[in-house]
Amino acid sequence: MKTMELAEKLAATRELSDEELRQILETDEFDQTLFNLADKRRREVYWDEVYVRGLIEFTNFCRNNCYYCGIRRDNRNAERYRLSREEILDCCEEGYRLGFRTFVLQGGEDPYYTDSLICDIVSEIRARFPDCAITLSIGEKSRDSYQAFFDAGANRYLLRHETADELHYAKLHPDSMSLANRKRCLFDLKDIGFQVGSGFMVGSPYQTTDNIVADIRFLQELQPHMIGIGPYITHADTPFSNFESGSMTLTLRLIAILRLMFPYALIPSTTALGTIHPQGRELGLKAGANVVMPNLSPVGVRKLYALYENKICTGEEAAQCRGCLERRVLSAGYRIVTAVGNAKTETES
């Protein structure tokens, strides 16, 4: 089948065979068709709405040692920081004033923040901002911990699966980590009742087209509310310093494919996409993404949360970031809405 027909088949049926997926992933011939179909679909479900999530990167200490990540445990060059409970709450206050109704608390896997401290912070945010969604992104925990976070008032959780292929997973992570546990976490989170976000990096070292097909199949099994993908970006202080960064074109193509396969999903146009290209986030929106996640962390620590190099949005005030993104979203042909922004379902659209 021609790729043009493949794109139309995907739009009509939300499904392609493995072989068809490989074909559509490996040619740039009909990207514009894919983008147009994906944008048409996103407007049918979400009109021109773009949801904002205020990202608070509250610690860059991490007990893990993922080979791709700039804040991995063994990176001695990383200057480490932690935000206090009060500093985190201040970020939320500022965010609320700026119109954010979702706070994403993201950090390395930092044992300093015990379950009870996380629960304490979450329940305080829940009490102060009852109309907001609280998202956690703090890695792999036990089911009991996840349940405690949920009971304290958190209602969303972001945990990318990173790659759904066992062998590829082992090339990206040390032996202490496993794909099986990552999947266990994701299914536990769903089962508890969290709205779950998963995803992977595009162009990570050793990634093959077959790996990406496996990622798509895993997402079809998990059915997450949010799917976050962004290009892998090299960091000099990691074992992968000699690998090239992932490509913007493949990331955009994948966003469009995901929009057509998961019409109701929340798909962020990520900071990593904005980092590899000055218009990356705008192009991500035009390819089917419908979420942006501006930085609400205190300006003084933004540069330190360096998962990868040259990260954007590290110098601006929270308010400037919000305004900047507002203009960028408008210039792409969409508009930011102040709403909690839950994923829509088939019956609502």
The footprint of ligand FES (CB under 6 A) covers 294-295, 313, 316, 321, 324-325
Nearer CB in complex with ligand FES: 186/292 = 292
Which range binds ligand 5AD by CB under 6 A, 78-86, 90-98, 231-239, 337-345? 231-239
Tell me how many helices (H) and strands (E) the chain has. 14, 9
Cα 159 from Cα 173, distance rounded (Å):
15
Residues composing the chain: 349
Selection from ligand FES, ligand 5AD, none that 313 binds (CB < 5 to 8 A by kind) is ligand FES
Nearer CB in complex with ligand 5AD: 46/308 = 308
Residue 220 dihedral angles phi and psi, to the nearest 5°: -65, -35
Provide the phi-psi class of 229: left if phi over 0, else alpha when psi is between -120 and 50, else beta.
beta
Which range binds ligand 5AD by CB under 6 A, 176-184, 225-233, 281-289, 291-299? 225-233
Nearest 10 degrees: CA dihedral of 219, 220, 221, 224?
50
The nearest distance, CB 20 to ligand FES, in angstroms, is 36
Selection from ligand FES, ligand 5AD, none that 160 binds (CB < 5 to 8 A by kind) is ligand 5AD
Cα 82 from Cα 130, distance rounded (Å):
25
CB 254 within 8 A of CB 212: yes
For residue 284, give both structure tokens.
């991500």
The nearest distance, CB 233 to ligand 5AD, in angstroms, is 4
Q: What is the CA radius of gyration of the chain?
A: 19
Selection from ligand FES, ligand 5AD, none that 78 binds (CB < 5 to 8 A by kind) is none
Nearer CB in complex with ligand FES: 115/309 = 309
In 223-340, alpha helices (H) = 248-261, 271-276, 280-286, 299-302, 318-332
In the set 7, 24, 69, 122, which binds ligand 5AD (CB under 6 A)? 69
Selection from ligand FES, ligand 5AD, none that 321 binds (CB < 5 to 8 A by kind) is ligand FES
Nearer CB in complex with ligand FES: 17/320 = 320
For residue 280, give both structure tokens.
């990356």
In the set 103, 129, 169, 232, which binds ligand 5AD (CB under 6 A)? 232
User: Can you point out the beta strands (E) in 122-234?
Assistant: 133-137, 156-158, 195-202, 226-231
Which range binds ligand 5AD by CB under 6 A, 13-21, 209-217, 228-236, 336-344? 228-236
In the set 91, 148, 201, 292, which binds ligand 5AD (CB under 6 A)? 201
Neighbour-count burial of 319, counting CB atoms closer than 10 A to its CB (0-12 exposed, 13-18 middle, 19+ buried): exposed
The residues binding ligand 5AD (CB under 6 A) are 68-69, 160, 162, 201, 230, 232-233, 235, 272, 307-308
